[in-house]
Chain A
């Protein structure tokens, strides 16, 4: 089955700086890569996703890049703000797996004012 590794496990950045979270996956058939944000004590919520036919996707201050050859994808947050402090999860899924996502272990991001 799919295996997703996520790094770093914790990330502390100064407000206004950029944050980058990296994930690697094992199954070359994976074709869907969402990112979820979980604020303290809250539910995970989808913030952005990318499919394997696209190399990069942006939504305001967040962007995701995908390298299918290397089997890794990354989340980039620019101009970080205190409200970006949360745990971020990457996930991957082969098409044949329906909607059964395999999640990474999560990255706790702390934005210091």
Chain B
């Protein structure tokens, strides 16, 4: 089934540890995004990529990094996790980088202790 796959589904992580959240899409979408979802704050954009080889900062990029080596994969790395990064992380993709519907993955629930 075409779509976006995120891994892991959930993770408990000790503060200070490094963690990479994986995201893969098979829709050949050009643009990909990482959002975090926190109660009452909606979905906030962390980083995005309009096309393979390019990335950009979103609303809350500090403490996170991304790479886009190819069209399908868009991993999100927390270099040194802190408790405030406890959240649900959603990867999304869209066909184009302008006014195009977002297709979300199932999310990764991350708890930093």
A residues with a Cβ closer than 8 A to B are 1, 4, 6, 9, 31-32, 34, 36, 42-46, 49, 51, 89, 91, 93, 95, 98-106
Contacts of A44 in B (CB 8 A): 43, 90, 102, 104
User: With the chains together, A6 CA to B41 CA distance in Å?
Assistant: 10
User: With the chains together, A99 CA to B94 CA distance in Å?
Assistant: 8
Contacts of B90 in A (CB 8 A): 43-44
Shortest B51–chain A CB gap in Å is 11
Shortest A27–chain B CB gap in Å is 13
Query: Once the chains bind, are B31 and A103 in contact (CB under 8 Å)?
Result: no
Given contacts A43-B90, A43-B104, A43-B107, contact A99 B99 (CB under 8 A): yes
Query: Once the chains bind, are B42 and A46 in contact (CB under 8 Å)?
Result: no
State whether the Cβ of B101 lies closer than 8 Å to any Cβ in chain A. Answer: yes
Task: Report the number of A-B residue pairs with Cβ-Cβ less than 8 Å.
Answer: 65
Name B42's closest neighbour in chain A (CB-CB): A103
Shortest A97–chain B CB gap in Å is 9
Counting chain B residues whose Cβ lies within 8 A of the other chain, the interface size class is 20 to 34
State whether the Cβ of B58 lies closer than 8 Å to any Cβ in chain A. Answer: yes
Query: Once the chains bind, are A93 and B44 in contact (CB under 8 Å)?
Result: no
Name A102's closest neighbour in chain B (CB-CB): B59
Contacts of A51 in B (CB 8 A): 99
A99: contacting residue among B43, B59, B100, CB under 8 A? B100
Query: Once the chains bind, are A89 and B42 in contact (CB under 8 Å)?
Result: yes
Query: Once the chains bind, are B99 and A105 in contact (CB under 8 Å)?
Result: no
A45: contacting residue among B35, B42, B99, B104, CB under 8 A? B104
User: With the chains together, A95 CA to B5 CA distance in Å?
Assistant: 29
Name B41's closest neighbour in chain A (CB-CB): A105
Contacts of A9 in B (CB 8 A): 40
State whether the Cβ of B71 lies closer than 8 Å to any Cβ in chain A. Answer: no
User: With the chains together, A12 CA to B99 CA distance in Å?
Assistant: 31
5 contacts between A and B (CB under 8 A): A31-B99, A91-B43, A93-B99, A95-B98, A99-B99
Query: Once the chains bind, are B99 and A32 in contact (CB under 8 Å)?
Result: yes
User: With the chains together, A49 CA to B104 CA distance in Å?
Assistant: 16
